[in-house]
Amino acid sequence: MKTALITGITGQDGWYLARHLLANGYAVHGLVRDQRNPKRAEVERDLPDVTLHDGDITDATSIRRLVERVAPDEMYNLGAVSYVQFSFENPVLTAEVTGVAVLRMLEVLRDHPSVRFYQASTSEMFGLAATSPQSEATPFHPRSPYAVSKVFAHHAVVNYREAHGLFAVSGILFNHESPRRGPEFVTRKVTRGVAAIRTGRAETIELGNLEARRDWGFAGDYVRAMHLMLQQDTPSDFVVGTGVTHSVRDLVAVAFGAAGLDWEPHVRSTADNRRPADVPDLRADASRARHILGWAPEMSFDDLIRSMVEADIRATEAPSR
């Protein structure tokens, strides 16, 4: 039985990855930063075979003790300040949690070189990309403190792989969603808003740039790619995405359509919801992942958004306790 350690296990990707690894016979351990984390109880309820540990990825001593106690074969770092708008308001905190913490983990793993390490990189690193679609060879042009911090962490992984021989890889994942996505992200903001309008609890949704385009996929598909990256003979980084883009306007149309509603009377685009430096268009060239990992997405964009709307309508209609 292999053992895996997941940071950020209470997030969307952590939940899906833990479930995937358990199904593959792993012993799964997760790090939780705060006893008061409201999602901790969800993990304990939904994934009772996962062992949770208290800790903090910004504390090297905490990470070292946990690695020594768990002795993982694989470590997946999914912990980060991941909301772009928050990073503009809290850039130093973002850099500490999303960037420097990864360097601390890599330093710990220098003493445990048998541990295979996965770092969650992001398509936001491409930012104002000069070419489209974006592959592993596309230069980075980050447009937020979050993306800048992720670029630092990404290059740290490359450096420790080359300088110290660690099996350390980064998955450059494009946007991936699910009914477990945080409410601050645009997909969930839309699907929750549709559910509220559908049940008569709201009238409108306020959004930013409706023309921004993203490559959206299902988180449950993307965690399979994470796992596959650590099963290879040679460590390397991979872009993961569908290769198909949709605008926020497309997202809105599919979400409202899933509820049988016309979106235009209910959606407002406001300047207050726009980023200080926007990223207009991101699309993945995931040909290496398809060829080397044998990975391909399974859920379509329309099915993904419909599943999120349906889940949010059920949650909105459920009686409060």
Kindly report, residue by residue over 234-267, the tens digit of the pLDDT.
Answer: 999 999 999 999 999 999 999 999 999 999 999 9
Please state whether beta strands 246-247 and 213-214 pair in parallel, antiparallel, or not at all (unpaired).
antiparallel
Q: Does the N-terminal peptide bond of residue 133 adopt cis geometry, omega within 30 degrees of 0?
A: yes
- In whole angstroms, what is the distance from residue 46 CA to residue 41 CA? 8
Q: Which tops the pLDDT comparison, 318 or 139?
A: 139
- In whole angstroms, what is the distance from residue 317 CA to residue 95 CA? 39
pLDDT digit string, tens, across residues 8-43: 999 999 999 999 999 999 999 999 987 678 889 999
- In whole angstroms, what is the distance from residue 45 CA to residue 48 CA? 6
What contacts 58, CB < 8 A, 6 or more positions away? Answer: 96, 97, 100, 101, 104
**And the tokens for 231?**
């099963």
- In whole angstroms, what is the distance from residue 269 CA to residue 80 CA? 28
Tell me the pLDDT of the chain averaged across its residues: 94
- In whole angstroms, what is the distance from residue 180 CA to residue 182 CA? 6
Give burial (CB, 10 Å; 0-12/13-18/19+) of 149. Answer: buried
pLDDT digit string, tens, across residues 200-221: 999 999 998 999 899 999 999 9
Q: What is the mean pLDDT of residues 52-61?
A: 95
Q: Which residue has 């070189």 as its token pair?
A: 113
What is the predicted pLDDT for the residue at 250? 97
Neighbours of 163 (CB within 10 A): 9
Computed on alpha carbons and rounded to an integer, the radius of gyration of the chain in Å comes to 19
What number does CATH give the domain 180-214+244-282+299-317? 3.90.25.10
Asked if pLDDT for residue 191 goes beyond 60, the answer is: yes
* Sign of the alpha-carbon dihedral angle for 289, 219, 137, 74: negative
Asked if pLDDT for residue 321 goes beyond 90, the answer is: no
Residue 130, phi-psi category: left (phi > 0), alpha (psi -120 to 50), beta (remainder): alpha
What number does CATH give the domain 3-176+217-240? 3.40.50.720
- In whole angstroms, what is the distance from residue 295 CA to residue 225 CA? 6
Q: Can you name the residues that pair with 6 across neighbouring β-strands?
A: 30, 76
Contact 3, 26 (CB under 8 A): yes
Asked if pLDDT for residue 45 goes beyond 80, the answer is: yes
∠ at Cα 111 (110, 113), nearest 5°? 65
Average the pLDDT over each of 31-40, 61-70, 220-229, 302-311 and give the range with the smallest value. Answer: 31-40
Residue 238 DSSP code? E
What is the predicted pLDDT for the residue at 247? 96
Which of 124, 155, 316, 161 has the alpha carbon at shortest distance from 235? Answer: 161
**And the tokens for 111?**
């003493």
pLDDT digit string, tens, across residues 145-190: 999 999 999 999 999 999 999 999 999 999 999 999 999 899 999 9
Spans of all domains in the chain: 3-176+217-240, 180-214+244-282+299-317
Q: What is the mean pLDDT of residues 268-274?
A: 72
Provide the annotated active-site residues: 122, 124, 146
